[in-house]
Chain A
Amino acid sequence: MRETSVHTSLRASVPGVIPVLEAFLRHEVGKTGFRHVVFGLSGGIDSAVVAYLAVRALGAKYVHPVILPYRLSSAASLAHARLILEDLALPEQVIEITAQVDAYFANFPDASPLRRGNKMARERMSILFDQSADRQALVLGTSNKTELLLGYGTQFGDTASALNPIGDLYKTQIRELAACLGVPLPIREKAPSADLWEDQTDESELGFTYEVADAVLHLLIDERLSVQEVAIKSGCSVPLVEQIARRVRLNQYKRRMPLIAKLSSRTIGIDFRYPRDWGQ
C-alpha cells in the first residue's frame, strides 16, 4: 500500500507520546509498590520498544527482560534480542520453553500449529508471571493496538500483562516510535513475525499488510467512518475493509474479562464498578 495522508498523520504525533509513556510507567508501576518490571523479549520490534521505554522510565536496574525461546525460534530472533540487551546494558536471562512444550505435545502429536503457537504463548505468560513473583516485578504487555484490535494474539498468553504501555499505538506508529527511541535498524526493518513456527510472518498469516490494517483500523475506530467511507478514503476494497471490521468484532472477547452471570444487585464487571487503581 502506498503511503497515504492517514499514515503520515498517524506517525506525525508519535514523538510526543514518549514523555507520556515514560510517566505512565513510572506512575503506574510506582503506585503498586513495585519498582521492577519484567517482560518477554522476543527480538521483535514491539518488545524492543517496551524495553527502551522501560529503561528510560525506570532505569536499567529495574528492567528485567526475559528471552523465552522454543527450539524452532529463529536464530535471528535471539541475535536481535541480544542486540537490544547490549545496547541497553541489560543482563541476559534466557529461559527455554522447549522441554515443557514438547513434553505436553508428546501426548498430542497431531496438534495443529495454532494449538502449538497458543500453548507456547501461554507457557511464556506463565513463566513471566512466575518471574514477576520471584523478582517483585510487574509484567509489562507488549501487544500493540493493531494486534489487540485484530485479535492477533493468544488470549491469556501474550495479551496477558499488568500494564501495557504500547496498546494504544498501531504497528506503523510502533515503527516510528522505535526509530525515535533508537531501536537498532535490523529490528525495525525485518518482517514482523510471531515466530511460533518457521518462516511465519504476521502479514502472510493475516492476509494484509500492517499499513493496510492500520489505515483501515484508524479510519474505522478512531475516525468512526463507515465501511464504505473507509474503502474510499483508504483505497482498499469494501470486502477487505469488511473482513478487518469483522475480525475486530469477532475478537472482542479477547479484550474483555470473562462474562459473569448476573444474579445480585452488584455484579463484578457490571454494576460493581471501581477503577483498577482502586487497590493501589
Chain B
Amino acid sequence: MTVMRVAMGQVSPVLGDVPANVDKHIQIAQMAYAQGAQLIVFPELGLTGYLLKDMTYEVARPLDHPDVQRLVAQSKDIDVLFSLVEESASHRFHISAVYASGGKIVHVHRKVYLPTYGLFEEGRHAAQGTDIKPFTAPTRPPAGVMICEDAWHPSVPYLLSVAGVDVLYVPAAGPGRALSGDPHSGSQQFWERLLRTYAQLFTCYVVFVNRVGFEDGVFFFGQSFAVGPDGEIIARSERIEEDMPIVDIDLSLLRRARYRTPLLRDEDVYLTQRILQRTLGSEG
C-alpha cells in the first residue's frame, strides 16, 4: 500500500469523563472510516481532558479496562491512535498514546518529557516514560509517536529516525497564547516551524493532531496539520473548533525524497554515539 489515508480527530474532550470521551472517539472514528481513512489520530489525553490535577487519580485506566477496550475494539475497522492516563500494574500514572489496529493494541508510547513549568504541572501527577521506539502496525509503514512536549526535545525524533520511521505522529494538547506580544507566544508558529523542519531533516511524514476547547480559561488552539518529507504542509485544519481534516500520505514520495536528499543515509550514528559517550564520560 503506497497511499495511507489518515484522519486527524481534532476533538474537544470532556474534562474527566472517560466514557463520554470514548463515545466521542468511536463516533468520530466511524466518520473517518466512512471517509475511507485507514487511521485516525486523536490528541493528547483525548480520553480524559488535559488540566486534570488531582483528577489524574480518578481518570487513570489500565489498558485492559473496559473503557479502553471498547475503543480498541473499534480498530477492527480503522486503526486508532488515542491517548489517556494509563495506570501501570505498579500504579504509575503515565500520559500514554495507544496505537490499536485489528482490534488489538499494537504499540504504547508513554510520554517521556512531562512539562512542569509555567501553566504545566504534568510532572506533579504523571510518571515519566522510559522508552522511545518505533513500531509497525500490520500493513502500515514504520512509525513513531511523540506526545506534545516529547517533540520539543530533538533527541526524541532523532532516536525514532535512526531506528527507522516513515511517519511521526504527534498527539498534542497545545495551549495557545493569542497575544503575540507575549514573549512565550507564538507556540502555534513554533509547532509549525519545528515539525516542518523535522519532516525535512528526517525525510518522513509528520502528523500533528492538537486538541481544541477550553479548560479553566486555557485555550487549546487545534489547527492540526500534516507535513510531507519536503517540509511542505499537505493538509491542515484552519479551525480552533472540532474538526477532522484528512490527509493522503503517499509513501512512494519517501523513495524520491530520500534519494534526492540522503540525510538518513549519511547520518553517522556511530559518530554520535562516540561523542555522546565521550561527553557524558567527561562530565558524568
Residues of A bordering B, CB below 8 Å: 9-14, 16-17, 19-20, 23-24, 27-28, 168, 173, 218, 222-223, 272-278, 280
Contact = CB atoms under 8 A, between A and B. Distances in A.
Contact of B178 (A11, A13, A222, A273): A13
A23 B219 contact: yes
Contacts of B179: 13-14, 16-17, 168, 173
B15 A278 contact: yes
Given A13-B181, A16-B180, A20-B178, A275 B51 contact: yes
A169 B41 CA distance: 35
B182 A17 contact: no
Interface in B213-248: 213-217, 219, 240-241
Contact of B176 (A20, A274, A276): A20
B20 to A, nearest CB: 12
Which of B182, B185, B214 gathers the greatest number of chain A CB atoms within 10 Å? B214
B12 interface: yes
Contact of B53 (A11, A12, A20, A275): A275
A277 B180 contact: no
Given A275-B15, A275-B215, A280-B15, A222 B240 contact: no
Contact of B180 (A12, A28, A223, A280): A12
Contacts of A20: 176, 178, 219, 240
B51 A24 contact: no
Nearest to B216: A275
Count class of interface residues, chain B: 20 to 34
B240 A10 contact: no
A270 to B, nearest CB: 12
A274 B53 contact: yes
B281 interface: no
Interface string B32-75: 00000000000000000001111100000000000000000000
22 contacts: A9-B181, A13-B179, A13-B182, A13-B185, A16-B179, A20-B178, A23-B219, A24-B214, A27-B213, A173-B179, A218-B181, A222-B181, A222-B182, A222-B183, A223-B183, A272-B54, A274-B53, A275-B53, A275-B215, A277-B51, A277-B215, A277-B216
Contact of A277 (B15, B54, B185): B15
A223 B15 CA distance: 32
B214 A28 contact: yes
Contacts of B103: none
Contacts of B185: 13
Nearest to A224: B183
